[in-house]
Amino acid sequence: MEPFNTSHSNQTEPFIPASWRAAVLIGMVGIGLPANAFIMWLTGWRLRRRGLSIFILSLATSDFLFLSTTVMQIIETLLNETWVLGTPMCRLRYVLLDLSYHCSLFLLATLSVDRCLLVLLPLWYRCHRPLWLSSYICLGAWLVATLLSIKGFFVANVVVVVVVVVLHSDGILVCSGDRGKYEWPLRLLEVLLEGLFPFIVMVTTHAATLSRTFRRHTRPPSKFYHIVAATLSAYVLLNLPFQIIQLLFLVSWEQEFNYRIFPFMVYFGYLINLNSSINPLIYIFFGSNICTGCGRHTTSSLAMALTEEQGKSPGDTPSTSFSA
């Protein structure tokens, strides 16, 4: 993934002042980084890493990495889109963006399929599904995302962009990932792969899950079902607008139209940051009995929710260090 930002163009400027945009990003980072760190601690050190918990651990890790790159974006925004961190950090930024975004994408698609199997094939899921399948799926997602992110190391570079200001021009340093003549086809391929394909997978499997649930009057584990459904819904609602506006930008040959919609790509890109920030809050809200208290009880309830679907498998009792 290579989100558009204001430094990719010397003709466009977002409507909102840089200080306000930086404040919004700081708020997202201030909430998202510690929240994702808590989920990583809970699922990585306090629970057995299998089933839903391993998916949530991987998602929290990828969201944490994604928000870490937002710190660089904040610095860039406060300095009027000038990059001062050097070429190595520029390349690291692109690698981490691609790695975290692709990993979250693949994990959510496979999680949607996993939830569908739980409802469509409950007997196989409970009795014959390999216990460590989730671990292998997550490992595969990280490996594929790593391979796809390597390109960022080679294309990212710090370049000088000339910006015309009133009666004179000035040059600023920009962290750019321009791929020359291959930029347009590669960007279009990324939009279709990152936006359309996972959206189709999620909608199809979600529809199949709902259809089977209503037809057979079967109900999957409540908290497990709600955590996954809310996470997938948040992804679609907060990521799809950016993919749509980016696709319009790519297929349009009208320069005036692109000039007008470019700022909206910047704002919709912030929704992706918001998605990474609120994901851990979704896990806590839907996995805990928040009405009955907080602290240790909330942590215990969340831990039970993250191991709920594996606790019903024969011979497998969820292990957690918390007591309700």
Q: How does 145-180 read in b/e, with b if 16+ C-beta sit within 10 Å?
A: beebbebbeebbebeebebeeeeeeeebbbbbbeee
The CATH number given to 6-306 is 1.20.1070.10
Q: What is the DSSP string of 198-256?
A: HHHHHHHHHHHHHHHHHHHT----HHHHHHHHHHHHHHHHHHHHHHHHHHHHHH---HH
Q: What is the pLDDT of residues 19-67, one digit of tens each?
A: 899 999 999 999 999 999 999 998 888 766 667 788 899 999 999 999 9
Q: What is the pLDDT of residues 207-252, one digit of tens each?
A: 888 787 777 655 555 677 778 888 888 988 898 888 888 888 888 7
pTM (2 d.p.): 0.82
Task: Please list the pLDDT of the chain residue by residue as tens digits (324 residues).
Answer: 665 544 444 444 556 788 899 999 999 999 999 999 999 998 888 766 667 788 899 999 999 999 999 999 999 999 988 899 999 999 999 999 999 998 998 898 888 888 888 888 888 877 877 878 888 889 999 999 999 889 888 888 888 876 655 554 567 888 888 777 777 787 778 777 776 787 788 888 878 887 877 776 555 556 777 788 888 889 888 988 888 888 888 887 777 888 888 888 888 999 999 999 999 999 888 876 443 444 455 555 566 655 555 444 433 444 443 333
